Amino acid sequence: MKSVVPLLFAPVIVALATKRAPISPDTLSSQISLDYLLEGTQKLQEFAYSYPQRNRVFGGAAHNDTLNYIYNELLQTGAYDLHRQPQVHTWTTGNQSLTVNGDTIDALSMVHSPSTNVTAELAITPRLGCSPSDYDSSAVGKVLLTRRGGCSFASKSILAASANAAGLIIYNNVAGRLRGTLGNPNDPSSPFAPTIGISLLDGQRLLRSITPNATSSNTTTATPSLRLTLYIHTESAPRLTYNVIAQTKDGDPTNIIAVGSHTDSVDAGPGINDNGSGTISSLALARALALTTSNTSFPLRHAVRFLFFTAEEFGLRGSTYYLHSLSATDRAHIRLYLNFDMIASPNYAYMIYDGDGSSFNVSAPTGSGHIEKTFQGYFESQNVSYQAAEFIRRSDYRAFMRHGIPVGGLFTGSDKVKTQHEAEVFGGRMGVPYDPHYHGPGDTVGNLSPEAFLMNARAAAFAVASYARDLDGIPVRNVSRVVREGFGDKRGGGQGVVVAL
């Protein structure tokens, strides 16, 4: 709703606006230092290494240390209204093995996969295994092989379970191992098949080893001599965790710039690029914003809300929970969302999410193209090349997209391989993943690119300051529209359980 200022007070407000220039994007970005970024990520690594697990999985001791550190750093500024948002989500871990004719294939069970220990024939699905028509009666009792892409891992697993398959193997569509999550483990209407991921190379080897015997127009069965043993042992438990939410005390609270990053890691390592880089960049930005706006010559016109999400690596749980917890009015007050996840990859490319859909033809809410152009403007001002990143909905922006909130952000790449063209533009090594230690024990401070880290953190500050002073180009979101949108696609699932800390 548009606020009306009584005429009596209008001259006073005009006079104040004349005296107090809005926050400068260049001033704020210049306050971000590499020293703070590296010190912060070193602190996160120390938290992980203080415990035998050497990770920062949500609900664990090192992740709790991370959240307490973020909270205390923000509290010291005195500039934010702080809130811990408790929730309970299912933590799971697993051991797995895959053997084919006695040979072991490197495999990783999907997060939330059911357990199994089965020896069965191997069959392949046509296309990508994203439609019920890709499965028929010949899939019963077999372990199915399909390629990554086309739909979510969860969708493939649910379809395989519906076909009474004994298990599902998903092989990567890019070089490298495949680790993923099946999303919500608490939906009894959508049971999963035991599911693992393997590399592109191993998937291609399995395909080449198959002599097709077409048993139907759909599922193709391997020769009976090609049998495999799939073993998955999964342990799970509910874990208490929380999001940390910090909103500026200044600025219009009905026009909010939301800034988000996830704070947790996978089981395999400390998660310093994924996503210590985004976490500490957001924290550095929040501290710089507090320092800059403490000078009364740089007020905020619009409020800034920092969102430190939990349990992203277990199915985007924290961000999904957060959006579901808001009323329609509260969601309408969020004018845009900026996402920072993996922004210091060692073999990086500077990537800006494709808000206008011109590169990947993926629709994003109106206003997302403006965010993309804002980031492009910053990189161009620094004479730095960039390229578009696709919205593949594997980070916390997904929940905001589903509610029609304009989204944008930065990314330096994960497990996909850098092309020759990208190596020519950005440097680095072609044929090597952007982050060779993605979701692994080597994702440490030594895995970071300091150059990319600083550039992206300053770009983030530039964008936040730009929108904190001017939201032209970002459509106003009215409550009636948000109510019609509802929760959108619920496949992310589940709101967790609220409990007191």
Tell whether 489 is covered by a domain. no
Residue where a domain terminates, one of 236, 260, 289:
236
Q: Is the pLDDT of residue 486 over 70?
A: no
- Tell which of 236, 263, 279 closes a domain: 236
Mean predicted confidence (pLDDT) in 188-215: 81
Residue 13: predicted pLDDT: 31
Domain edge (last residue) among 236, 259, 280? 236
What pLDDT is recorded for position 209?
Answer: 85
Same domain, 473 and 348: yes
Q: How far is CA 248 from CA 252, 290, 427, in A?
A: 9, 8, 38
Buried b (16+ CB within 10 A) or exposed e, 87-107: bbbbbbebebbbebeeeebeb
Tell me if 195 is assigned to some domain.
yes
Buried b (16+ CB within 10 A) or exposed e, 287-318: bbbbebbeeeebbbbbbbbbbbbbbbbbbbbb
The range of the structural domain enclosing residue 263 comes to 25-79+249-478
* Residues 38 and 284: beta-carbon distance below 8 Å: no
Confidence of residue 208 (pLDDT cuts 50, 70, 90): confident
- Give how far Cα 19 sits from Cα of 10, 286, 412, Å: 15, 25, 40
Average pLDDT over residues 356-366: 93
Both 330 and 393 in a single domain? yes
What is the token pair recorded at 29?
């970005």
The count of domains in the chain is 2
Residue 91 pLDDT more than 70? yes
**Cα gap 488→401, rounded to integer Å:** 9
pLDDT of the residue at 408: 98
Integer-rounded Cα radius of gyration of the chain: 24
Per the annotation, the verdict on 312 as an active-site residue is yes
Residue 318 located in a structural domain: yes
Residue 117 has pLDDT above 80, yes or no: yes
Residue 59 placed within a domain: yes
102, part of any domain? yes
Nearest one of 326, 289, 253, 270 to 495, comparing CA atoms: 326
Q: What are phi and psi of 333, to 5 degrees?
A: -75, -15
In this structure, what CATH number is given to the domain that contains residue 60? 3.40.630.10
The mean pLDDT value for 262-279 works out to 97
- Asked whether residue 132 is domain-assigned, the answer is yes
Residue 242 lies in a domain: no
75: helix, strand or coil: helix
Q: With bands split at pLDDT 50, 70 and 90, how would you rate the model's confidence at 189?
A: low
Q: How far lies 387's CA from each of 259, 321, 332, 353, 362, in Å? A: 21, 31, 30, 9, 15
Question: How does pLDDT run across 396-415, given as a tens digit for each residue?
Answer: 999 999 999 999 999 999 98
Give the separation between CA 223 and CA 232, rounded to whole angstroms.
Answer: 24
pTM, two decimals, is 0.82
pLDDT value for 59 = 97
Encode pLDDT of 32-49 as tens digits: 999 999 999 999 999 999
Residue 476 near residue 333 (C-beta atoms within 8 A)? no
Shared domain check, 232 and 154: yes
User: Does the pLDDT at position 240 exceed 90?
Assistant: yes
The catalytic residue among 312, 313, 372, 422 is 312
- Say yes or no to pLDDT of 12 above 60: no
122: left (phi over 0), alpha (psi -120 to 50) or beta: beta
